[in-house]
Chains A and B, each alone.
Chain A
Amino acid sequence: MGSLEDISAPAGTRAGASDEDLLRLYGAGDPAAARGLTERLAPLAYRIGMRMLGDAAEAEDIAQEAMLRLWRAAPGWQSGGAKVSTWLYRVASNLATDRLRRRRTAPLDDAPEVADDRPGALAELVEADRAAALNAALLRLPERQRQAVVLRHLEGLGNPEIAEIMEIGVEAVESLTARGRRALAAALAGRREELGYEEG
């Protein structure tokens, strides 16, 4: 981790600075640090919101609220604790879960559909259809399975970090992702031809 001195260049040029470095700079009043942290971390919270809730407006709310909590936590941030990104994943996941519990309705038939009428975009359409089918199937999973699958297979996190985010054990994470994968595979099995897979 760099010191304040060795990362004193403008935040926009600090490609090598860690999130923790940027957060310390933010806490010290560096004018460019807020922008640097936003560019790195707000998309992460937005993705969690979208994949957990399937709604752009709610995902925006979650990104804004999660980042607001980060701004407030920054001055007293303890570098010995969780990574900034892990902390933000946890905050965004909890915010999304809270909203899911308030909804208490499974939007089985409201899954977002992808419509792309551009000519010559067949491969892109297939890709988009697969992504849309997966997102729709994700929204039908129980919330904990959904959260674990999103963090593991879409955000690419390791099981120990997911365990930290979800505040459960690594074995529980493995169990949730395995069950989630099985449910997703079953949900997508009936759409193989539609999604461009050859029968066989």
Chain B
Amino acid sequence: MEKDKDLEACFAAARTLAPMPDRALLDRIAAEGRALQPLPRPASEAKHAPAAQRGSGPWRAIFGTLGGWPALGGLMTAGLAGLWLGLSDTGGVSGYVYDNSGEGWLYGPADIVSLTVAEEGV
């Protein structure tokens, strides 16, 4: 127990007289830190940084390459417009495939395929 008390007193003395770096060293370290520091970000960029950093990985990279949400909106609009044009030409999927009571078949690519099949008797 006596030894423990003595040891604790030595620990306390060593804590009180802890070695401290001199001012010149701290100045050198801080200067080095400034030299290696990234450049300040503009305020607007810093404000939006958390949103910009959300998510990562290959899908986000592909998404970014395509142009993000605005480009994807354009792609979706174009796709839907094409689908509408295709379906509206014959009045719908069922008429396009099965309606053979009309005068002609030259309505679209599917009709050409059907005609070819009929002529060749396959």
- Asked if A and B are interacting partners, one says yes
Q: Please indicate the chain B residues that have their CB under 8 angstroms from the CB of A33 in the complex.
A: 37
Q: Please indicate the chain B residues that have their CB under 8 angstroms from the CB of A189 in the complex.
A: 3, 6
Task: From A45-53, A92-100, A102-110, A164-172, give the one contacting chain B.
Answer: A45-53
> Contact at B19–A46, with CB atoms within 8 Å?
yes
Neighbour of A42 across the interface among B2, B25, B41, B46, CB < 8 A:
B25
> Contact at A38–B6, with CB atoms within 8 Å?
no
CA distance A119 to B11 in the complex (A): 25
Task: From A13-21, A78-86, A127-135, give the one contacting chain B.
Answer: A127-135
Q: Please indicate the chain B residues that have their CB under 8 angstroms from the CB of A34 in the complex.
A: 30, 33-34, 37
Neighbour of B33 across the interface among A50, A67, A200, CB < 8 A:
A67
Neighbour of B10 across the interface among A37, A46, A51, A131, CB < 8 A:
A131
A50-B19 in contact given A28-B40, A31-B34, A184-B7 (Cβ < 8 Å): yes
Interface 0/1 of B1-41, CB less than 8 Å to A:
01110110111011111111100011011101110111111
Interface 0/1 of A25-38, CB less than 8 Å to B:
01111110111011
> Contact at B26–A42, with CB atoms within 8 Å?
yes
Q: Which residue of chain A has the shortest Cβ distance to B24 in the bound complex?
A: A60
Q: Please indicate the chain B residues that have their CB under 8 angstroms from the CB of A71 in the complex.
A: 32-33, 36-37
Interface 0/1 of B36-72, CB less than 8 Å to A:
1111110000100000000000000000000000000
CB proximity of A9 to chain B, nearest CB, Å: 16
Classify the secondary structure of A's interface with B: helix
CA distance A68 to B39 in the complex (A): 17
Interface residues of A in 134-188 (CB under 8 A from B): 134-135, 153-154, 156, 181, 184-186, 188
Q: Please indicate the chain B residues that have their CB under 8 angstroms from the CB of A200 in the complex.
A: 2
Q: Does A4 contact B (CB under 8 A)?
A: yes
> Contact at A127–B25, with CB atoms within 8 Å?
no
Q: Does A91 contact B (CB under 8 A)?
A: no
Q: Please indicate the chain A residues that have their CB under 8 angstroms from the CB of B34 in the complex.
A: 31, 34
CA distance A171 to B78 in the complex (A): 66
Q: List 19 A-B residue pairs with CB atoms under 8 Å apart, sorted by A's residue number.
A: A28-B41, A34-B34, A37-B33, A38-B30, A59-B21, A60-B21, A64-B28, A67-B32, A130-B9, A130-B10, A131-B14, A133-B10, A134-B10, A134-B14, A153-B11, A185-B6, A189-B3, A197-B9, A200-B2
The 4 nearest A-B residue pairs measured at CB: A29-B40, A34-B33, A130-B13, A50-B19
New contact pairs (8) apart from A34-B33, A63-B29, A74-B38, CB-CB < 8 Å: A31-B34, A47-B18, A51-B19, A68-B32, A131-B10, A181-B7, A184-B7, A195-B10
Residues of B within 8 A of A (CB): 2-4, 6-7, 9-11, 13-21, 25-26, 28-30, 32-34, 36-41, 46
